[in-house]
Amino acid sequence: MDQLVPPKHKRRDPSLPKGRQVSDDHVAHVADILGDMARRPDMVIEALHLFQDRQGYISAADITALAELFRLSQVEIFEVASFYHHFDVIKEGETPPPPVTIRVSTCVSCELAGANALIEDLKAAVDPSEVRVIGAPCIGQCDGAPAALVGKQIVRYATVETLLQAIAANPRRPQLPDYENLALYRAEGGYHVLAKIMSGEISPDQAIQKMSEGGLRGLGGAGFPAGKKWGFVRSYPGPRLMTVNGDEGEPGTFKDRWWLEKHPHRMLEGAQIAAHVVGCDRIYLYMRDEYPQVHEILRREIDALERAGLCPVPFELRRGAGAYICGEESAMIESIEGKRGLPRHRPPYIAEVGLFGRPTLNHNVETLLWVPQIVEHGPEWFASQGWTEENKGVRSFSVSGRVKEPGVKIAPAGIPLIRLIEDYCGGMEEGHELYAFMPGGASGGIFPAHMADRAMDFGTWEQEGGFIGSHAVVILSQHDSVRQAVLNTMRFFKHESCGQCTPCRSGTDKMVRMLEAQEQDAEMFDDLLTVMRDSSICGLGQAAGNCVTHLMQHFPEEFAQ
């Protein structure tokens, strides 16, 4: 009987480094693309963006060359590149993607507006060798549903015709809206509050007191009091850093994009004030990749600020790469450091050990844009604008779904949902009646119409097993299926789970399969929801099942279908 003899392997040349080899010419080519970019580990994601933008993919040879230039292992580069949805990593022998990619949003609002049918019609209308059509998580254009991203062009109320027109145009360049630039902002008195802070006319302690008395809370979702946060971070020994979280990936949320497309300097001045008060050495702006127009606006206006000498604390603009999990503050910090966006275990909290191991102040965009006005007009001016004395300030509500006038609505904190719909959104669409709503996006839960008289503010929906989060309001009517909306959200969370912890990674997958199979075992659902809520590392897994809980609790007839 013949023996099986293992094949002989060619010995590695000991004079060469381990792993895939790359030619000197390709290393020189990659170095030329990088230009004067610093070869630091935290710049890896920025480097990967250069290749994705330039050629539409990242090759194995590119990864090998980057590893050599950044003095990292190939696996370190590959694990980062393969983690983010917007990087196309092409292995040896694989065919690169077509030159144009169309990402059609499939969030709840876009699904209600016909996104799934649009995807199928579009696929039938294009040459797949030239155009790639994919369903994508929320792209922050819910008030223009269905929406799509054609290269770097945003297409709202998308149709096959308008998407084909976008392909024929220049999809590599974003189209910028009209916005308030530095000259216009300064003409209206912009940056004079920062000048008072810098001159000492308003002391750091006075600024912190104003924030605390005004009742400004973190408007990215958690609602932590801003003044208290400033005091915490300031209490830790320096050097300190600041991060601005512009990765608003929660389905239904688009308020930060709306503000930055109109008034970017409100946030930029607020960031400078906060950084100076807390004593931060640098501000890192982390913006989601789905907002190419916002990136260009910020790049231009930060350059203008630097030329005008109005950047006492330097800005550094960083770009996400299509990972919802990076909206979680510690995952965002990991991404800024050039790593996969995996949430950290806490404690320690980032206020003590944050970006690059330093105490870090983190705020979202909307929180910061109120800072100059509160410092200037006083805490009573802001606090008094709530719906009642218990509600402090105003909010930017992202409203989408079955209303006549979707969009960002600046309304008093604590306004009842029904008043938000009737007084700010023109009421429900013709032929539609309020049936259900999400007060805080996909993770905030879903509630029936009879609860629409409750206050839209922090503390209201937590009592019901939900939360208002980033104030992303999605409206459903009697013509919509709550069960389908819940399945949509669970598919989103399954897609966006970072995979670090088993309860979230496996729990979201199991939940999707149970909903697709129309399982009706409430006890099994409850067991799975409890494990996910109690054992997941971060808020994604902990809150992913809120809508399922409410489907069983408030819509038993749909759960039983």
Give me the sign of the Cα torsion angle 286, 287, 292, 296.
negative
Q: Give the Å distances, CA to CA, from 303 to 36, 45, 295, 299, 311.
A: 17, 22, 12, 6, 10
**Looking at the domain assignment, is residue 147 inside a domain?**
yes
**Looking at the domain assignment, is residue 174 inside a domain?**
no
Q: Could you tell me which residues are beta bridge partners of residue 243?
A: 284, 362
Q: What is the mean pLDDT of residues 415-432?
A: 98
528 closest CA partner among 558, 559, 505, 497: 505
Confidence band for 367, pLDDT divided at 50, 70 and 90: very high
Collapsing DSSP to helix, strand or coil, 537 comes out as coil
pLDDT at 393 exceeding the cut of 80:
yes
pLDDT of residue 9: 60
> Are residues 202 and 71 part of one domain?
no
- pTM over 0.85, yes/no: yes
Confidence band for 404, pLDDT divided at 50, 70 and 90: very high
pLDDT at 324 exceeding the cut of 90:
yes
pLDDT at 323 exceeding the cut of 80:
yes
Task: Tell me the pLDDT tens digit for each residue of 287-318.
Answer: 999 999 999 999 999 999 999 999 999 999 99
> Are residues 69 and 121 part of one domain?
no
pLDDT of residue 22: 85
Beta strands in 311-412 (DSSP E): 315-319, 360-364, 394-401, 407-412
Answer with the one of 65, 90, 115 that is the final residue of a domain.
90
Give the number of domains in the chain: 5
pLDDT of residue 221: 83
pLDDT at 69 exceeding the cut of 90:
yes
> Are residues 488 and 470 part of one domain?
no
**Looking at the domain assignment, is residue 461 inside a domain?**
yes
**Looking at the domain assignment, is residue 433 inside a domain?**
yes
- Tell me: cis bond preceding 7? Omega within 30 of 0 counts: no
Task: Tell me the pLDDT tens digit for each residue of 212-239.
Answer: 999 999 998 888 999 999 999 999 999 9
pLDDT at 14 exceeding the cut of 90:
no
Please tell me the distance from the alpha carbon of residue 493 to that of residue 98, in angstroms, as a whole number: 27
Confidence band for 7, pLDDT divided at 50, 70 and 90: low
pLDDT at 2 exceeding the cut of 60:
no
pLDDT of residue 92: 86
Please tell me the distance from the alpha carbon of residue 149 to that of residue 136, in angstroms, as a whole number: 9
With a CB cutoff of 8 Å and minimum separation 6, the contacts of 523 are none
**Looking at the domain assignment, is residue 251 inside a domain?**
yes
> Are residues 365 and 235 part of one domain?
yes
> Are residues 230 and 334 part of one domain?
yes
Spatial contact of 56 and 99, defined as CB atoms under 8 Å apart:
yes
Answer with the one of 168, 197, 217 that is the final residue of a domain.
168
Q: What is the mean pLDDT of residues 139-143?
A: 97
Answer with the one of 346, 377, 408 that is the final residue of a domain.
377
Which CATH number characterizes residue 34's domain? 1.10.10.1590
Domain that residue 214 falls in: 182-377
> Are residues 515 and 425 part of one domain?
no
Q: What is the mean pLDDT of residues 255-272?
A: 98
Task: Tell me the pLDDT tens digit for each residue of 75-132.
Answer: 999 999 999 999 999 998 899 999 999 999 999 999 999 999 999 999 999 999 999 9
Chain mean pLDDT for the chain: 95
Confidence band for 363, pLDDT divided at 50, 70 and 90: very high
> Are residues 270 and 365 part of one domain?
yes
Please tell me the distance from the alpha carbon of residue 32 to that of residue 23, in angstroms, as a whole number: 14
> Are residues 214 and 199 part of one domain?
yes
**Looking at the domain assignment, is residue 19 inside a domain?**
no
Which position has the higher pLDDT, 12 or 207?
207
> Are residues 240 and 158 part of one domain?
no
Q: What is the mean pLDDT of residues 413-430?
A: 98
pLDDT of residue 348: 95
> Are residues 444 and 296 part of one domain?
no
**Residue that has been written with the tokens 């598919």 in this structure:** 491
Confidence band for 414, pLDDT divided at 50, 70 and 90: very high
pLDDT at 6 exceeding the cut of 80:
no
pLDDT of residue 150: 96
Which CATH number characterizes residue 121's domain? 3.40.30.10
pLDDT at 249 exceeding the cut of 90:
yes
Confidence band for 561, pLDDT divided at 50, 70 and 90: confident
Task: Tell me the pLDDT tens digit for each residue of 455-475.
Answer: 999 999 999 999 999 999 999
Please tell me the distance from the alpha carbon of residue 182 to that of residue 180, in angstroms, as a whole number: 7
**Residue that has been written with the tokens 């929320």 in this structure:** 138
> Are residues 211 and 145 part of one domain?
no
pLDDT at 15 exceeding the cut of 80:
no
**Looking at the domain assignment, is residue 230 inside a domain?**
yes
Which CATH number characterizes residue 299's domain? 3.40.50.11540
> Are residues 311 and 231 part of one domain?
yes
